[in-house]
A and B are shown apart, each in its own frame.
Chain A
Amino acid sequence: NAGVMQNPRHLVRRRGQEARLRCSPMKGHSHVYWYRQLPEEGLKFMVYLQKENIIDESGMPKERFSAEFPKEGPSILRIQQVVRGDSAAYFCASSQNGAYEQFFGPGTRLTVL
């Protein structure tokens, strides 16, 4: 039973480019969460999605960032016109419907040059 999958594991972008991060939840999980982690910091909540719905995006910057979880396929976190301050590790987690426990993927480390 595969865990949460994220790709790419490492992503390098130049300022102004777009970054697309993908997350496939654990089998049977319909809830996806995205978190951002800066060096030496804890994880910060960004957005919570269920299939085709954004439930809570209170932690996501209003501009340049968007997330989706389509009916088919992985969840996507999209960052447009990246800036150096976007450099961080981005983690996806998933949970079963109604469950508290969130299982995390290995993360995508984004570096903006």
Chain B
Amino acid sequence: GESVGLHLPTLSVQEGDNSIINCAYSNSASDYFIWYKQESGKGPQFIIDIRSNMDKRQGQRVTVLLNKTVKHLSLQIAATQPGDSAVYFCAVYSGAGSYQLTFGKGTKLSVIP
């Protein structure tokens, strides 16, 4: 089965700096990846996704990078703001026909004003 791990459980950054959150997955057949943001007491909120036929995808202030060779995924947040403080999860689909999202444990991002 799939397993998803995070490199750091917590991350503190200064307001205005860039944040990088990393994620590793185990199944080379995984074909779709999502980053979610979860604020305290709320459900996960979709941030950005990427398919396995891409290496990079950009959104507003966020970029996701996918390295299939080493099965590594990262989320970059530019000019981090206090409102970005939350727990960030990567979630992975395990291949064609699978509808299960496998989540990592999450990285708690704290933004220092």
| Chain A residues in 8 Å Cβ range of B91 | 43
Nearest CB to that of A59 among chain B residues? B100
Please report which residues of chain A, range 52-96, place their CB below 8 angstroms from some CB of chain B when the two chains form the complex: 55-56, 58-59, 91, 93
Other-chain contact of B106, A42, A45, A93 (Cβ < 8 Å) = A42
Contact B93 A100 (CB under 8 A): yes
| Chain B residues in 8 Å Cβ range of A91 | 43-44
Give chain A nearest CB distance to B70 CB in angstroms.
21
Q: Is the interface of B mostly helix, strand, loop or mixed?
A: strand
Assembly CA distance A106 to B32 (angstroms): 23
Other-chain contact of A101, B41, B46, B105 (Cβ < 8 Å) = B46
Please report which residues of chain A, range 1-26, place their CB below 8 angstroms from some CB of chain B when the two chains form the complex: 4, 6
| Chain B residues in 8 Å Cβ range of A103 | 46
Over the window 22-36 of chain A, the binary record of Cβ atoms lying under 8 Å from chain B Cβ atoms (1 yes, 0 no) is 000000000101010
A-B contact pairs, 12 of them (CB 8 A): A6-B43, A41-B106, A45-B101, A48-B100, A55-B99, A56-B99, A59-B100, A91-B44, A102-B34, A102-B101, A104-B36, A106-B41
